[in-house]
Amino acid sequence: MRRLLTVAAAAGAAILVKRALGRRVERSPLWPMPALPEPVSGVERERPQGFALQVAERTTPAEDVVMLRLTGDRGALPDWEPGAHIDVVLPSGLVRQYSLCGDPAEADTYTIATRLVPDGRGGSREVHEQLYEATEVEVRGPRNRFPLVDAPAYLFVAGGIGITPLLPMVRAVAAAGLPWRLVYGGRSRATMPFLPELAALAEQSGGAADERLLVVPEDEAGLPDVAAALTGAPREAAVYCCGPDPLMDAVSELCAERAPGGGLHLERFSPGPATRPGATGDTSFEVELRRTGRTVKVDADTTVLAAIRAQALPNLPYSCEQGFCGTCQQTVVAGEIDHRDELLTDGERGDSMLICVSRSQGGNLVLDL
């Protein structure tokens, strides 16, 4: 009986990974972004609608890390694939994005994990101090701007809580029997969630487990040797990285030189300096809102999003304000865009922008608003 259950589980995992690896993102995944209304002056879009879930289980997989299993009474939840995240509306009204780190086969459950950041923007503290079992929260999504692409091999590089979007990918790739390696760094083993499961996946994948999974606690071994990891990876591998900015920047620089065949895929938790208003060289400009007939001024030290909400459309939808989630993506009718996000595809950059971080290269912009 145990063998039959194991075979069934493996078959189910293979189906999931086939779907995850085979599907391409052929349309904008900004679910549930509403369509713009008819072009009537002064009419604004409503905020994306969500649904209520409850905290069914709360655990602590590592020091200062809380993991929540969210369920509801609506039955099956919108499906998702590795790399996806959800928006969670916290008790204060803050909206924060959290990677889904559970199993896509659990159709009635979303699982997220977050590390407490004492000097952060407040989201992690609310999760840690207010979201206990039976607490109800509003959830929006899921969205996936960090999809698992089809590749013959994979190199995953995680730093700290950056393991959360990568964990479902490792599960999927391991279930498919594809070559993979994970370099996982953190302050200490006690602060690094999911180590037992990752070790089990490495053992099950065959070969030397310590070559499949490289755990690098800083208090034991210093920082991960990213250059060595990339050098040892197959040339055709897809490289996925999520973690602190210094780690991401190091991987980006090395991949720019090496050009991995499967591409470099990044998920950032904080914006780079160039995305912040007031960066060196920023100047004021104007944005014409074509549908409403309004023109707003964007000062050098403010964002397009903030200017539009303050001067014309106060209910314009937004969420992360850091260029991660895609909620504020708008169509550009005219003007040269200074893209400062790492989210939009090359195709999307041709006629749209994330107005929470991106600006004008020079001159004014015209938006389809």
Q: Is 221 helix (H, G, I), strand (E, B) or coil?
A: helix
Using CA of residue 250, residue 252, residue 258, residue 262, what is the dihedral sign? positive
Note the CATH number of domain 154-267.
3.40.50.80
For 118, the token pair is 């004492």
Residues 6+ apart with CB under 8 A from 330: 352, 353, 355, 367, 368, 369
Q: What pLDDT sits at residue 352?
A: 96
Fold of 276-367: Ubiquitin-like (UB roll) (3.10.20)
**pLDDT of res. 167:** 99
φ/ψ (deg, to 5) at 203: -65, -45
For residues 13 and 172, is the Cβ–Cβ distance under 8 A? Answer: yes
Question: What's the pTM value of the predicted model, to 2 decimals?
Answer: 0.74
Look at residue 279 in the predicted model and tell me its pLDDT.
Answer: 58
Supply angle C-alpha 165, 103, 192, rounded to 5. 45
Residues in the chain: 369
Alpha helix locations (H) across the chain?
A: 2-22, 123-130, 163-175, 195-204, 209-212, 218-221, 226-232, 245-258, 304-311, 346-349
CATH topology identical between 51-142 and 154-267? no
**How far apart (Å, rounded) are the C-alpha atoms in residues 343 and 341?**
6
| Per-residue pLDDT at 278 | 55
- The pLDDT score that the predictor gives to residue 29 is 31
Q: For residue 112, what are its two tokens?
A: 């997220």
pLDDT digits (tens, 9 = 90+) for 317-348: 887 788 877 789 999 999 999 999 877 888 89
In tens, the pLDDT along 87-142 reads 899 998 888 889 999 999 999 999 999 999 887 777 899 999 999 999 999 999 89
Residue ranges in the chain whose pLDDT is less than 70: 1-49, 269-280
Q: Please report the pLDDT score of residue 320 as a whole number.
A: 76
Q: In this predicted structure, what is the pLDDT of residue 276?
A: 55
CATH superfamily of 51-142: Translation factors (2.40.30.10)
pLDDT in the model for residue 95: 83
Domain spans of the chain, in order of start: 51-142, 154-267, 276-367
Tokens read off for 165: 């979007």
- Long-range pairs for 299-307 at CB < 8 Å and ≥24 separation? 301/277, 302/277, 303/277, 303/355, 303/356, 303/357, 303/359, 304/353, 304/355, 304/356, 304/358, 304/359, 304/365, 305/355, 305/356, 306/277
What is residue 162's predicted lDDT score, i.e. its pLDDT? Answer: 97
**pLDDT value, residue 136:** 97
